[in-house]
A and B are shown apart, each in its own frame.
Chain A
C-alpha cells in the first residue's frame, strides 16, 4: 500500500524541474540511489529517485518529462499530498575513500543523497562532484552539493557556467577509487567507456520505463541483459553491463 506524504515545500529549480520536499508519517529509510514510486491519484505513478532524506522528510527532484510529471507540476503545491511506495532497488556502494560523483542535468539528484551519506561516514572520505548541464539556466542543487562535498566542478555545453564542454570531457578519472554517475545515457556510456578502459570502478544509475517496481513484470529490463532496473538496479556496476547490448551501444558512441 502507498504511504501518504504531505508536500511541505515546492521550489522551482529550473524552467522544467521542481524540488518537492515531502513529509512522511515515519522514516522512509532509503539507501542512496534507491527510488520510490510516486502516485498522483487520477494521473498515474512514476519512479523518482530520492535526492535527500532527513528524518521523516524526503526530497524528490521532479522534471517535467511527461503526462504524470506535468500533472504533478501543475496540480501539486505546498500543503497538497502525494502517495509513495518504496524505497526500491539497489543503490550506490558507500565506503571510505575517494569518491567522484558525475552528474548530468536533473540526473544529479540521487548523487546528492549519496553525498550526504558519504559525508556521514566514519573514516577518511573525500568526495568530489562534477556536474554538467546544457546551460547555466539548467544548473540545479549547486549550493546543496557545495555544502556537503569537498569540491564541485561545474560544466555547461555552452560555457555559460563553469567550464565549457561535456562533463565527461572535463572530468579527471585518475584520482578516485570509485566513480558514481547519474544522468543522460550518452553521458553514462561515454563515462563507462573511459572508466572501463582505465580500470576505474564505476557505478551508474539507469532509467527505464517502469511498471511494477517489484522485479516481476520485466518492463524495465536493460536490453538483453536480464537485468531489471527496478530490482537489480537502478545502480549497476558498469562491468556488469560491459558484455551486453549496453556496452555495444557505448562503443557505437565512440565509433
Chain B
C-alpha cells in the first residue's frame, strides 16, 4: 500500500538550506522555491488538487488545459500503462474556462506561494485573447498557451501546428496580459526551432518543451487499439531523450532571449539535472506521480540540492545550460 501525505499535512519546502545552497529559481520574473513544476494535465483540475501539489513541494503548479467552452473528452479507456511510459487520450476534458475561474481564485487565496500557471487551448486569436485576460484576472501568475495537445482532433492538430497560427495566438495573448506568457511546444523532429521562433518573435517569455509524443497501443487479444481515441500522447520515460534534445536545441537557439522549461519523463533528480544542464530553468513533472506519488517534488528538489552541493555549485542558475558550455 502506498502512503501519501494528506492535504496540508506536509511542511513547506525550505527555500534555502542551512548550507546556503539555493534551490530558488526565477522564471520570467516568478519566484519558485525550487525548480519543480506540476505539469499541465496532471492533478490540475481543482484548487484543492493544485494546493495539494504545491504543499507537496511543487515550486509552481499548472492547471489542466482549459478551453473556452466545456469539453467532455474521450470515453474510457483513456490511458495505457507501458513499460516505457504512459499513453493517454483524455481529450482535453474540462468544464470550460469560466466555471474553472473560482478554482484559480481559491488556489490563489490559499496562501500557498507556488505560482499558478493557467494553461489554455485556443484555435483563434480572439479566443486566446479572451481566455488569457480572464485567467489573469482570476489570479493566474502566468499563462501557458498549449499549442501541442496530442489529443486534439485531426483538424485541430492540422491547424495548431502552423507557425502562422502560433504567432497569432502568442501575439494575442501577449497583448492581453501583463503576466508572463509560456508556450508549450510539441516534440517535433523537424521544424521545432521555427515554431519556437514564431513564439519568441511574438513575445513569449518561456518555452515549455515538450508536450507528449503521439503514439498508440493495440491489444493483441482484442485485436484493436486500446485507447478510445485510437491515438494518444506518450509521456514518461520514453519521452525524456526526445524532450531533452528539444530543450538543448531551444536553449542553444533562444537561450539568450528567453527561458526554457523542460518536461518529459522526469522521475528523479538525475533526470531533472539533465534538463537543467541542457538549458532548462525549471522542470515539469507529471507522469512520475504514478510511480513516485506526490513526494516526487520534494525528492527531486532535495536531489538537485545534493547534486549542487556535491559538485560545488551554489545555485540552480549556475548549471542551467552548462552542458552547452562544456
Residues of A within 8 A of B (CB): 1-2, 4, 31, 37, 39, 41-42, 44-46, 68, 81, 83, 85, 90-91, 211-219, 221, 224-228, 231-232, 240
Closest chain A residue, CB of each to CB of B51: A226
Q: How far is the CA of A41 from the CA of B221 in the complex (A)?
A: 10
Min CB distance A189 to B, Å, is: 19
Residues of A within 8 A of B81 (CB): 1, 85, 214
Query: A214-B81, A217-B90, A232-B4 known; A83 and B290 CB under 8 Å?
Result: no
5 residue pairs bridging A and B, Cβ less than 8 Å apart: A44-B76, A212-B78, A214-B79, A215-B43, A231-B4
Residues of the B chain whose Cβ atoms lie less than 8 Å from the Cβ of A68 = 76
Q: Is the CB of B219 within 8 A of A1?
A: yes
Residues of B contacting A45 in the complex (Cβ-Cβ under 8 angstroms) = 76-77
- Give CA–CA (A37, B75) in the complex, Å: 13
The distance from the CB of A23 to the nearest CB of chain B, in whole angstroms, is 14
Nearest B residue to A41 by beta-carbon distance?
B222
Is the contact region of chain B dominated by helix, strand, or loop, or is it mixed? loop
B289 engages A215 (CB within 8 Å): yes
Q: How large is the interface on B (under 10, 10 to 19, 20 to 34, 35 or more residues)?
A: 35 or more
Task: Please measure, in the bound complex, the distance between the C-alpha atom of A228 and the C-alpha atom of B287, giving whole angstroms.
Answer: 16
In the complex, A231 Cα to B261 Cα: how many Å? Answer: 28
- Do A44 and B75 touch (CB < 8 A)? yes
- Cβ–Cβ contact A226 & B7, under 8 A: yes
- The CA of A45 and the CA of B224, in the complex, are separated in Å by 14
Are the C-beta atoms of B219 and A212 separated by less than 8 Å?
no
List 6 A-B pairs, minimum CB-CB distance, nearest first.
Answer: A218-B45, A45-B76, A226-B48, A226-B52, A41-B222, A45-B77
Contacts of A42 in B (CB 8 A): 224
Give the chain A neighbours of B75 by CB distance below 8 A.
44
Contacts A44-B76, A212-B79, A224-B46 aside, 16 further interface pairs with beta carbons under 8 A come to A1-B80, A4-B221, A39-B226, A44-B77, A45-B77, A83-B222, A91-B1, A214-B290, A215-B289, A216-B42, A216-B43, A217-B41, A217-B42, A217-B78, A221-B45, A226-B7
Residue pair A215, B49 in contact (C-beta under 8 Å): no
Q: Is the CB of A1 within 8 A of B7?
A: no
* Any A CB within 8 A of the CB of B286: yes
Residues of A near B7 (CB, < 8 A) are 225-227
Are A83 and B76 in contact (CB-based, < 8 A)? no
CB distance from B267 to the nearest CB of A (A): 14
Min CB–CB distance B218 → chain A (angstroms): 10
CB proximity of B69 to chain A, nearest CB, Å: 19
**Which single residue of chain B is at the shortest CB-CB distance from A224?**
B48
Across-interface contacts of A90 in B (CB, < 8 A): 1-2
A213 to B86, CA, bound (A): 12
